């Protein structure tokens, strides 16, 4: 009962955030290209916090003399801190709802139902990748080859779990944002976000070291302030940092969330030795990732859990959502289920769903010997399974004898008909597994 009260309070809090952001006009203003940086009532989430992100509000000290527990220098992922700061800007204390259920996808039953199998259709997400350069076009944060390599790595890492990404690259000349100062994120995104409701936006700049994304339950997720900010050096290296940040955007917490990002030993803490049921509602809400610290070490952290007194065992140090990225190689089934479930709940706008092909061009008709008519058209679609050719005959003022005279394979652009004598008209349609395109315009011939 206590937990439910917390959940309700937190959901109310999130609704309040959504309302505040809507009032501030920062959601759903696709296409706006204002260079004006917000200086009004809405506090900038990151003005005060980016520079001090290394301080973790809920962290327990993890560094010991062996060095075995040293996190990656600089705490390279700022997603959680940014999220907490955003809540704080709107008067919400993250710790009050630290293990609240934030949507249907947080229910382990729904998560499990969404775990993909080999029969699950692949979800393909659209990325819009913004690479910043100096005003004169020099010093790009990444080359096109770097972008290609980074997305290739991303797709390789997600392939097992039926998730893929397609992308466009936008090179932007802006010395102002090429090195992103702590108070300029809002203005950069407001100026350059590209259809954030239909594409996951990725900004590649020099952040000084940090990388972050927005969770799907963050009201910013699909708005102008959503997306991923990548530090250029991390992006160019095509390391798992991009994989990690995309994981946040698709609904994943850190594997160490229940240990270092909640009040220590409180009701939301995920102690070593918890049950699977408890692991599904605390921490990263995935009971197949054991409790761990934010150690950057490729192995179990040294020492013991200060709350249970148990040693850290079988920790998910090889998971993409931890900090030991040099050995990260996997997501777990529960994580995959969360990403698919959160996508279904909140992120379908980013999906590149199969569609019917584009319509072919108006056919050209040529009389051939022997009463034949050659019908040719432009193939305007890369994804058709074939074409249908339709013919009608003129009778007085009417067109009659409507017939599909041919069903042809992909990439076909002509058909020879033998209609006999009379006045005829022809049109063409492309089709694939989703359905048929619009019909082309009619073309008419007297034969
Ligand atoms: Zn992270």
Q: What does the pLDDT look like over 37-75, one tens digit per residue? A: 222 222 232 222 332 333 333 333 333 334 444 444 446
Helix (H) / strand (E) element for 172: namely: strand 163-173
388 Cα–ligand 1 center, Å: 50
Residues 194 and 334 placed together within one structural domain of the fold: yes
CA of 442 to the centre of ligand 1 (A): 56
Q: Which of 319, 350, 381 is the last residue of a domain?
A: 350
Answer yes or no: is 32 within a domain: no
Q: Are residues 283 and 370 in the same domain?
A: no
Share of the chain above pLDDT 90, in %: 69
Q: How far is the CA of 64 from the centre of ligand 1 (A)?
A: 22
Overall domain count for the chain: 2
Q: What local confidence, expressed as pLDDT, does residue 294 receive? A: 86
Rounded distance from Cα 3 to ligand 1 centre (Å)? 26
Helix (H) or strand (E) holding 50: none
Which residues make beta-bridge pairs with 390? 404, 427
Cα dihedral 120/240/330/286 (nearest 10): -80
Calculate how far, in angstroms, residue 82's C-alpha sits from the geometric centre of ligand 1.
10
Whether residues 314 and 375 share a domain: the answer is no
Residues 65 and 146 occupy one common structural domain:
yes
Residue 49 lies in a domain: no
Q: What spacing in Å lies between the alpha carbon of 213 and ligand 1's midpoint?
A: 8
**Is 0.85 surpassed by the pTM of this model?**
no
Which of 141, 145, 197, 199 shows the shortest CA–CA distance to 172? 141
- Are residues 342 and 370 part of one domain? no
Distance 216 CA to ligand 1 centre (A): 14
221 shares a domain with 370: no
User: Do 90 and 212 belong to one domain?
Assistant: yes
Residues 391 and 346 in one domain: no
Q: How far is the CA of 223 from the centre of ligand 1 (A)?
A: 20
Question: Residues 376, 335: one domain?
Answer: no
Answer whether residue 85 is part of any domain: yes
User: What CATH number is attached to the domain comprising 344?
Assistant: 3.40.390.10
Alpha helices in 253-386 (DSSP H): 257-260, 276-279, 333-342
User: Tens digit of pLDDT for each residue in 401-444?
Assistant: 999 999 999 999 999 999 999 999 999 999 998 899 999 999 99
* Per-chain mean pLDDT for the chain: 85
What is the 249 CA–ligand 1 centroid distance (Å)? 10
Residue 375's CATH number: 2.60.40.10
One domain for residues 273 and 172: yes
Which residue in 78, 60, 77 sits closest to 69, CA to CA? 60
Instruction: Show the domain range for 420.
Output: 364-446
CB atoms within 10 A of CB 63: 11
In a domain, 317, yes or no: yes
How many Å lie between the centroid of ligand 1 and the Cα of residue 244?
A: 6
Last residue of a domain, which of 350, 378, 406?
350
180 assigned to some structural domain: yes
Distance 248 CA to ligand 1 centre (A): 7
Residue-wise pLDDT for 29-45, tens only, equals 233 232 222 222 222 32
Residue 75 has what pLDDT?
66
Q: Write the Ramachandran bin of 346: left for phi over 0, alpha for psi from -120 to 50, otherwise beta.
A: alpha
Is the domain of 417 the same as that of 337?
A: no
Domain presence at residue 45: no
- Whether residue 287 lies inside any domain: the answer is yes
Distance CA 291, CA 289 (A): 7
Instruction: Give the distance (Å) from ligand 1 centre to CA of residue 415.
Output: 57
Q: Is residue 225 part of a domain?
A: yes
């Amino acid at each position: 009962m206590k937990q439910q009260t917390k959940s309700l309070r937190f959901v109310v809090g999130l609704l309040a955030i959504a309302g505040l952001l809507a009032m501030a006009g920062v959601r759903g203003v696709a296409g706006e290209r204002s260079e004006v940086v917000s200086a009004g009532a809405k506090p900038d989430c990151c003005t005060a916090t980016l520079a001090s992100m290394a301080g973790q509000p809920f962290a327990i000290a993890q560094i010991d003399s062996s060095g075995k527990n040293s996190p990656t220098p600089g705490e390279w992922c700022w997603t959680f801190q940014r999220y907490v700061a955003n809540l704080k800007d709107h008067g919400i204390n993250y710790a009050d709802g630290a293990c609240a259920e934030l949507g249907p996808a947080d229910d382990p039953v729904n998560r499990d139902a969404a775990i993909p199998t080999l029969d699950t259709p692949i979800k393909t997400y659209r990325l819009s990748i913004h690479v910043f350069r100096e005003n004169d076009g020099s010093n790009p944060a990444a080359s096109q080859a770097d972008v290609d390599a980074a997305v290739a790595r991303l797709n390789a890492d997600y392939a097992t779990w039926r998730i893929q990404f397609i992308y466009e690259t936008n090179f932007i000349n802006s010395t102002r944002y090429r090195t992103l100062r702590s108070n300029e994120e809002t203005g950069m995104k407001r100026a350059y976000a590209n259809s954030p409701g239909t594409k996951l936006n990725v900004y590649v700049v020099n952040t000084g070291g940090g990388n972050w994304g927005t969770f799907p339950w963050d009201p910013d997720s699909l708005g102008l302030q959503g997306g991923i900010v990548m530090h250029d050096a991390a992006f160019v290296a095509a390391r798992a940092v991009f994989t990690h940040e995309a994981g946040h955007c698709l609904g994943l917490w850190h594997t160490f969330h229940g240990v270092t990002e909640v009040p220590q030993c409180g009701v939301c803490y995920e102690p070593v030795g918890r049950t699977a049921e408890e692991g599904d509602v605390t921490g990263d809400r995935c009971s197949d990732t054991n409790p761990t610290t934010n150690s950057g070490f490729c192995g179990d952290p040294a020492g013991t859990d200060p709350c249970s007194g148990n040693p850290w065992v079988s920790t998910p140090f090889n998971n993409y959502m931890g900090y030991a990225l040099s050995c990260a190689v996997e997501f777990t089934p529960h994580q995959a289920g969360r990403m698919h479930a959160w996508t279904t709940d909140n992120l379908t706008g980013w999906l590149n769903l199969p569609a019917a092909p584009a319509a072919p061009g108006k056919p050209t008709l040529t009389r051939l010997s022997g009463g034949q008519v050659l019908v040719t058209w432009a193939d305007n679609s890369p994804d058709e399974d074939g074409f249908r050719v339709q013919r009608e005959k003129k009778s007085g003022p009417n067109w009659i004898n409507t017939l599909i005279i041919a069903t042809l394979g992909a990439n076909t652009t002509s058909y020879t008909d033998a209609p006999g004598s009379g006045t005829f008209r022809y049109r063409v349609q492309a089709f694939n597994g989703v359905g048929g395109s619009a019909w082309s315009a009619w073309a008419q011939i007297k034969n």
